[in-house]
Chain A
Amino acid sequence: MDELDPVIHASARLRITAVLAALTAGDRMSFPRLQELLGMTAGNLSTHLRKLEDAGYVEVDKTFQGRSPATYLSLSAAGRRAFEDYTAQLRSLLGGEP
């Protein structure tokens, strides 16, 4: 059995990845909405997002809405694949179909 992906294998990053994976492909979510859905502090969310971004799993789009800066987040293709692999590995560990 391969080791579970250490980037996703932390409850906060797993939750972030699961929410972003539930977005329609081609959609991005703003930082405040993601924070609201996860109930995490801004600092905690930023820390984990940076780790996901460093691993190439999350794409960060910094833009402006009027004059205010806004950050939008989405899973990269690698991130989506890593999440699917991770979920399949868990199911396999539980004896189900991968």
Chain B
Amino acid sequence: MFENPAPEGEPSADGDDLQPERLLALIDDETRGMKRALAVQVPVYYFVWGGAWLLGYLLLWSAWPGSTSPVAVPGWLAIPAFAVLMLGAAITSAAVGIRSNRGIKGVSDFVGTVYGLSWPILGGTVAAIGYALVRAGISDDAAAIYYTSAYALLVAAMYLAGTLVWHSADQLVIALVMAVAAAVTGFFGAPANMLAMALIAGPALLIGGVIALVRLRRM
């Protein structure tokens, strides 16, 4: 019953006979290939956001008055650079997410769209609350603590949501690290909170990227 294997990917006549081991390997190859195609963007998310948080908050810390940074970066450079890093990470994430899910409709499409749109919606909410606080007269240092911690809290909440949706233990670990960073960095005061955030969130996300890459290669 099981005889000459047909070339993989070649048109196969009905009833072409393969060994059971070969058939199971064929199924395994396709299943892993499909899972890899749907997960290929995950390390990209971690790397671009890890880089953006690490570099972005280091720049802001270096530019803040009273910073102990050995390199003084002018504010006119640090603030736009921070904005470009965050915007670049957001655009890259959206682009790779859309690309990896192209051609797939249904439950995942809906979940992915809602999850993807939640980031800018909640990010805008955090910014609006911060703007209201600044208008109400909070100091620059208090605003720095608010924005830094509130965005880390947003990331923690979104990664918790990601844990529930995609059953990802990696996302749970990142969510907990970000929640701790949101909770504790404010106690360092500004601008040290930004240095602390850069050194906690950045490496956590970059390590997450390395782990995601290793998992992807082992699929």
- A25 near B107 with CB under 8 A, answer yes
CB < 8 Å neighbour of A37 from B8, B18, B37: B37
Identify 25 residue pairs between A and B in the complex whose beta-carbon atoms are under 8 Å apart, listed by A's number.
Answer: A6-B14, A10-B16, A11-B18, A12-B11, A13-B12, A18-B34, A19-B30, A19-B33, A22-B30, A23-B106, A26-B108, A27-B105, A27-B106, A27-B107, A28-B104, A29-B104, A29-B105, A37-B34, A39-B9, A40-B9, A41-B11, A72-B105, A87-B27, A90-B20, A94-B21
Chain B 55-83, CB-CB to A under 8 Å as 1, else 0, gives 00000000000000000000000000000
Give the chain B neighbours of A38 by CB distance below 8 A.
9, 30
Proximity string of chain B (91-115) to chain A, C-beta cutoff 8 Å, 1 when within and 0 when not: 0000000000011111111000000
The reply on B15 being an interface residue by CB < 8 A is yes
Residues of B with C-beta under 8 A to A91: 24
Question: Nearest residue in A to B111 (C-beta to C-beta)?
Answer: A24
Tell me whether A60 is interfacial, beta carbon within 8 Å: no
Per-position contact with B for A67-98: 1 when CB-CB < 8 Å, else 0? 00000101000000000000100110110000
Within the complex, the shortest CB–CB distance from A86 to chain B, in Å, comes to: 8
Q: A14-B23, A33-B103, A91-B24 are in contact. Are A27 and B108 (CB under 8 A)?
A: yes
| New A-B contacts (9) at CB < 8 Å, excluding given A10-B15, A18-B30, A22-B30 | A11-B8, A11-B18, A18-B34, A19-B34, A23-B34, A28-B105, A39-B9, A51-B14, A94-B24
Which residue of chain B has its CB nearest to the CB of A92? Answer: B20
Contact of A14 among B11, B27, B104, B105 (CB under 8 A): B27
Provide the bound-state CA to CA distance between A44 and B7, in Å: 14
Smallest CB gap from A12: residue in B: B12
With an 8 A cutoff between CB atoms, is A50 at the interface?
no
**In whole angstroms, what is the CA distance A39 to B10 when docked?**
9
Q: Is the Cβ of A44 less than 8 Å from the Cβ of B11?
A: yes
Interface residues in B1-44 by Cβ distance below 8 A to A read 1, 6, 8-16, 18, 20-21, 23-24, 26-27, 30-31, 33-35, 37
Task: Specify which chain A residues have a CB less than 8 angstroms from the CB of B27 in the assembled complex.
Answer: 14, 18, 87, 90
Residues of chain A lying within 8 A (CB to CB) of residue B15: 6, 9-10
Rounded to whole angstroms, the CA-CA distance of A44 and B12 in the bound complex is 9
Query: Could you say which of B9, B31, B103 contacts A32, with CB atoms under 8 Å apart?
Result: B103
> Nearest chain B CB to A53's CB is how many angstroms away?
15
Distance between Cα atoms of A37 and B104 in the complex (Å): 12
Check A23–B104 contact: CB distance below 8 A. yes
Note all chain B residues with C-beta closer than 8 A to A19.
Answer: 30-31, 33-34
A90–B23 CB distance below 8 A: yes
| B6 / chain A contacts, CB cutoff of 8 Å | 11
Contacts of A24 in B (CB 8 A): 106-108
